[in-house]
Structure 1
Amino acid sequence: MTRYEFATKLNVCILKINNSNFDKFNQETLTTIQKLQTEFSAELATFRNHVDLLENKVAALETKQFSPQVELAGEVIFAVTGVTGGKKANSRTKPINENLVFSDRLRLSLEASFTGKDKLQIRLQGRNTPELADVTGTKMANLGFDGDDDNEVEVDELDYRFRLGKQTRVTLYALGGGLGDFVPSVNPLFSGSGDGSISTFGRENPIRRQGGGAGIGISHNFNDSLNLSLGYVSNNAANPEKGIFASPYGAIAQLTLKPSKTTALSVTYIHSYNNVNTGTGSELTNNPFNNQADAITANSFGAEGAWQINPTITLGSRVGFIHATAEDVPATPNAVISTWALLLTLRDIGKEGSFAGFVVGQPPKVTHNSFGDAFEEKDTSLHLEAFYHFKITDNLAITPGLFLITNPEHNNNNDKIYIGTVRTTFTF
C-alpha cells in the first residue's frame, strides 16, 4: 500500500486509541504508535486537511440553495396505421381509403428546477399523424397520439409545478393544459399517449376532455390514501375580448381514494362552458342542439375504479355522464350524454415491464334530449380494443394494437370500422 493509504489506516487506529481507555495498551504499543505518528506526520496532516476541506464543502452544499439547471427530455413516435371497414360513417357512397400511412410525432421538453422541489417545463412538438375522423367519418376512430401540424415544431405546452408544503402541489399551465392533467388516474397504464392506449377513447374518461389551454390546478394529499384535486382551464385566456372566464372553459374536482395497495377509486365532477366536444363520441354528442345554441353549460359526473387481482392482472372500469343545457335557446333544452368502459391489464407479459391492455366500452352517446327525439341516439356503438406494449429497452418500446368500432356514430346502418397501428416509441 502507499504511504497515504497507510496513513489513512494509521489515523483510524489513532482515533480508536484516543476514544479508548489507555490502560488497554502497554507502553511498547503506545511508543510504536507515537513513532509512526511522528514519521507519517506530513501524510496525516495532508489527510486531515483533505477531510476538513471535504466537510466544509458538504456543509456548504447542505446550506446552499439548489442551483437551477436545465435538462432535456425527448420522445419520438413512429407509427404505421391502417383503416378498413367499407363505407364512411353516415355515408353509403364514400368508401374508406384503406391505404397504410406512416407518421411521426416528436416532443422535446426543457425541464428546469429552481428549488429542487419545483419544475418548469417547456415542451416543443412537431407531428403529422392524421386524425382518422377525416378518413372514417367519425371521431370514434381517432388515435390517442394524433395531430397533424405538418411537422412544424412549436411550443405546445408550458407549465410550472411547485409545492405548498409536503402534501400540496400547485400546477400552472400557460399553454397546453387539460382537465385530465390536474387529476390522478387510477388506470395510469392506459393514459399515456406514447405508451398507453392506442385510441383517444381508451386513454381516459371522455368527460375529462372538456376544455384545454391555460389554467391552474391544486392537488392535496390528506394522507397516503386520500387525494383531492381541483383544476380550471380556459381555451382563450389570452384573448382580451373573452378573457379567462368568458371564453370556453372547464373546471374539475376529483376525489381519489386508495383504500389498499390493490384497489383505487375516484369520483369526478366537471363544470364546463361551450366545451361538450370530447373528441371521442358521435357528432351529435359534440353538437346536441343542432347549432342553435351559443351558450352551452354542462355538469358532468364520473367514477373510475381499479382492482389488482394479482401482480399480473388488473381490472378497471369507468362511467361518465354529461348533462348539457342550452342556456340561450327557448325552453332551455337539455341533453344527457353517457359513456362507460371496462379495462383489463396483463402485466409483465413476455418481458418484465411489458403489458397487454384491453378496452370494451361505449363512446359518448346522447341518451336523452329534450330538444327533440330526433336528436337522441337509438342505436349503440361499441369500442373493442387490444394492444400490447412491448418494452425492448428502457428507451424503446413497440406497441401493436387494433380496435374495432361497431355501429359507428351510434347508427347500426353504418359499417364496422377497424383501425390497426404499430406505434414505436423512443424516449431519452
Structure 2
Amino acid sequence: MKLFQQLLVAPAALGLLAPVAATASELNFDGVDQYASQEQVTSISQFSDVQPTDWAYQALSNLIERYGCVAGYPDGTYRGQRAMTRFEAAALLNACLDRVTEVTDELKRLMAEFEKELAILKGRVDGLEAKVGELEANQFSTTTKLTGIATMTLGGAGETGFGDNVTANYDVRLNFDTSFTGKDLLRTTLRAGNFGDSVFGNGNTALEVAFQEESGADSVGINRLFYQFPVGESVTVTAGAKVRQDDMLAMWPSAYPADTILDLFTYAGARATYSLNLGAGVGLWYQKDGFSISANFVSNENSAEDSTLGVGEDYTATVQLGYAGENWGAAFAYTYGDGLGGSPFNVVEDWNAIGLSAYWQPADSGWVPGISTGFGYTDANVAGLGNQDVWSWMVGLQWTDMFVKGNALGMAIGSAGQVGGGKCGTGALCTGGLWLDDGQDTLAYELWYKFQVTDNISVTPAFFWIENSGASDTYGGLVKTTFKF
C-alpha cells in the first residue's frame, strides 16, 4: 500500500484531505506539541491501545516499519479513535516527509493540501529549537529550581521607647528545590543573617525572620536538607538531616501569615505543640479529601553537634489530625518532647503538649478579615520544680487587598512568654525547643500593614506592644522590606 493510502486509513490522519486549508488564526495547536515532541516508535506493539483486530492495524504497522514516522503520546497510546486536528495531521505528515525518498503524485497532493500548516509548523519548530538552545546554554540545572528571599529590617524596641536599641538587620535564604520524578522534592536551603543578640533576635521581641538563624553574624549555613516523596496517591514520606517539624505536616492550621512580625505569633497558638523543632528527622502523612493525619520525629539540631547526645535524647515526636477545606481548616495535635535531664539547674526534662488550632478566610477580599486562632496546653516536668501547667493562645486577623489591591493589613493578640520553642529570653529555663519564662504572664499585640510595591518587593511597617506581669512593658516598631526572587 502506498504512503498516501496508508495515511488515509491510519486513524490519526482521517482529517488529511479536508477541502479547506486553515489559516494561521484558525489553527488549533491543542495536542500537536505533545504529539510531535514524542519519540518515534519502532514497533506497533508499543501502542497499548492498538490491537491486531483494528481495521487500520496493517496500514499503521506498515507506516511504522517502512517509514518509521509515527509517534505516540506520553502515556504509550496512539488514540486512533479520536478525531485529529489539521495541525496534528500536518505534524504526522511532516514527520513522514523526512523519511520518504520518492516524491510521488500522492505525496505532492498531500504537500499542497497542507502547505500553510507545514510552513507554520516549521516556523514554530524552528522557534522552539532556538529557545531550547538558549535555555540549555543558560540554564542553572535541568532538575533544580532556585528561589530566594532577602529581608532587611530597621527599627527598635525597649521598655521606655526605642532608646539606644535601634538596629538594622538582614536575613537571606536561598532555596534549591530539586525534583527527579516530578513528584518528589529534595530541598536544600542556605541561610545567612545578622540578627544574633540584637533586640530583634532574642526573647519576646524576636522577629519571625530571625527565628533559627544560623549562628554567627554573616555566616552562611545549611538551614534545610531533606527529601520528600510520595508513596501511592495519598501518602508522603519526608526524611532529612536538617528538617523542621512543620515540613512534615500535611497542613498548617493557621492562615495568619508566616512572614509576619513577632515570632511568637507563628506557632498557631500552641507554642509547645508546634515547637518548630529543627534537626534530623523523619515523618509521613496521609491525606485524602481534605482530611489528613501526620506523624513525625525530630531530634534537636544540637544533638548532631554534641557527641554526648544521641537521637534518643533532646527530641520531639508529633501527631496531628487535620482537615483543610476550601477556605477553612482545623487541626488537633499532640507533641511529646524530651529535654536535657540531670542538670543541676532547673530545666524542662520532658513535656506533653496538646494544641487545637483553626482558621477561616472569606471567599472574597474586603472588610471581613480572615481569622486564625489557636490554644495550647502543656504539662512540663521541670527539674527541681516538678510538673508545671502552662498555657498559650493567639488570635490573628488579616485583611487582604486592604485599601489597595495586593496590600494587606494584619493584627494579632496572644500569650507571649509562657510556652515556646527555639529562642530563650532573659531568665528563661531553656531546653530541647521548650522554654518557660519564670512563670510571668505576658500578653503581646502587633499591628502591621504590607505595601506590595511590586510582585517581588514589599514594605511592611509594624508596631508591637508586650505587657509583662511584674515587669515593665516593652514596645517598639520597625520597617521590614522583603525581596523575593
TM-score between both structures, scaled by the size of structure 2: 0.63
Q: Are the counterparts in 2 of residues 68 and 113 from structure 1 also a CA contact under 8 Å? A: no
How far apart in 2 are the matches of 1:73 and 1:37?
51
What's the counterpart of residue 226 of structure 1? Answer: 291
What's the counterpart of residue 5 of structure 1? Answer: none
> Does 2:206 correspond to 1:142?
yes
Compute the displacement of 1:115 (Å).
0.6
Distance 1:393 1:256, change over 3 A: same
Letter matched to residue 266 of structure 1: A
- 1:172-207 CA distance string (max 9 Å, x none): 2212x222332222323422xxxx221110112412
What's the counterpart of residue 338 of structure 1? Answer: 391
How far apart in 2 are the matches of 1:363 and 1:114?
42
How far apart in 1 are the matches of 2:327 and 2:223?
36
Q: Are the counterparts in 1 of residues 205 and 262 from structure 2 also a CA contact under 8 Å? A: yes
**Alignment of structure 1 residues 409-420 onto 2, 5 Å:** 411-412=469-470, 414-420=471-477
Task: Point out where structure 2 has 5 or more consecutive residues left out of the alignment.
Answer: 1-12, 20-82, 84-103, 126-140, 420-435
Distance 1:244 1:238, change over 3 A: farther
Q: Are the counterparts in 1 of residues 145 and 176 from structure 2 also a CA contact under 8 Å? A: yes
Compute the displacement of 1:275 (Å).
7.5
Letter matched to residue 122 of structure 1: T
Distance 1:275 1:178, change over 3 A: farther
Q: Are the counterparts in 2 of residues 211 and 272 from structure 1 also a CA contact under 8 Å? A: no
Instruction: Name the SS of the counterpart of 1:394 in structure 2.
Output: coil
Q: Are the counterparts in 2 of residues 238 and 244 from structure 1 also a CA contact under 8 Å? A: no
Compute the displacement of 1:343 (Å).
1.1
Compute the displacement of 1:132 (Å).
4.6
Compute the displacement of 1:387 (Å).
1.4
Compute the displacement of 1:415 (Å).
1.7
How far apart in 2 are the matches of 1:229 and 1:163?
14
What's the counterpart of residue 16 of structure 1? Answer: 18
- Choose which of 377, 387, 390 in structure 1 pairs with 2:448: 387
Q: Are the counterparts in 1 of residues 244 and 277 from structure 2 also a CA contact under 8 Å? A: yes
Letter matched to residue 219 of structure 1: W
Instruction: Name the SS of the counterpart of 2:18 in structure 1.
Output: helix
> Does 2:176 correspond to 1:110?
yes
Compute the displacement of 1:217 (Å).
1.6
Instruction: Name the SS of the counterpart of 1:145 in structure 2.
Output: helix
- 1:271-311 CA distance string (max 9 Å, x none): 001179xxxxxxxxxxxx98245x71110011111123552
What's the counterpart of residue 272 of structure 1? Answer: 337
Distance 1:238 1:167, change over 3 A: farther
> Does 2:329 correspond to 1:243?
no
> Does 2:345 correspond to 1:291?
yes
Task: Point out where structure 1 has 5 or more consecutive residues left out of the alignment.
Answer: 1-10, 20-33, 55-66, 88-95, 277-288, 367-374
What's the counterpart of residue 209 of structure 1? Answer: 275
Compute the displacement of 1:97 (Å).
4.7
**Alignment of structure 1 residues 16-415 onto 2, 5 Å:** 16=18, 38=108, 41=111, 47=118, 69-86=143-160, 97-132=163-198, 139-146=203-210, 147=213, 149-175=216-242, 177-183=243-249, 184-191=251-258, 196-205=259-268, 206-207=271-272, 208-209=274-275, 211-221=277-287, 223-235=288-300, 236-237=303-304, 241-245=308-312, 247-258=313-324, 260-274=325-339, 291-293=345-347, 296-309=349-362, 311-312=364-365, 313-326=369-382, 333-365=386-418, 380-407=441-468, 411-412=469-470, 414-415=471-472
Q: Are the counterparts in 1 of residues 200 and 207 from structure 2 also a CA contact under 8 Å? A: no
Q: Percent identity of the aligned residues?
A: 23
Compute the displacement of 1:261 (Å).
2.9
Q: Are the counterparts in 2 of residues 132 and 139 from structure 1 also a CA contact under 8 Å? A: no
Compute the displacement of 1:124 (Å).
1.1
Q: Are the counterparts in 2 of residues 68 and 114 from structure 1 also a CA contact under 8 Å? A: no
> Does 2:458 correspond to 1:426?
no
Instruction: Name the SS of the counterpart of 1:197 in structure 2.
Output: coil
Instruction: Name the SS of the counterpart of 1:151 in structure 2.
Output: coil
Compute the displacement of 1:426 (Å).
0.7
How far apart in 1 are the matches of 2:316 and 2:444?
26
How far apart in 2 are the matches of 1:321 and 1:421?
31
How far apart in 1 are the matches of 2:109 and 2:388?
93
Letter matched to residue 399 of structure 1: T
TM-score between both structures, scaled by the size of structure 1: 0.70
How far apart in 2 are the matches of 1:83 and 1:238?
33
Instruction: Name the SS of the counterpart of 2:444 in structure 1.
Output: strand
What's the counterpart of residue 29 of structure 1? Answer: none
Compute the displacement of 1:419 (Å).
2.3
Compute the displacement of 1:76 (Å).
0.8
Greater strand share, structure number = 1
Letter matched to residue 443 of structure 2: L
How far apart in 2 are the matches of 1:44 and 1:210?
62
Instruction: Name the SS of the counterpart of 2:311 in structure 1.
Output: helix
Structure 1 window deviating more from structure 2 (35-44 vs 211-220): it is 35-44
Q: Are the counterparts in 2 of residues 210 and 275 from structure 1 also a CA contact under 8 Å? A: no
Letter matched to residue 318 of structure 1: G
- 1:379-410 CA distance string (max 9 Å, x none): 63210111122222221111211111012xxx
Instruction: Name the SS of the counterpart of 1:149 in structure 2.
Output: coil
How far apart in 1 are the matches of 2:279 and 2:310?
12
How far apart in 2 are the matches of 1:310 and 1:118?
31
Q: Are the counterparts in 1 of residues 376 and 391 from structure 2 also a CA contact under 8 Å? A: yes
How far apart in 2 are the matches of 1:418 and 1:361?
15
- 1:42-99 CA distance string (max 9 Å, x none): 8969959x89xx9xxxxxxxxxxxx951222111111112113239xxxxxxxx7534
How far apart in 2 are the matches of 1:394 and 1:324?
44
Distance 1:102 1:134, change over 3 A: closer
* Bigger RCO (CA 8 Å, 6+ sep): 1
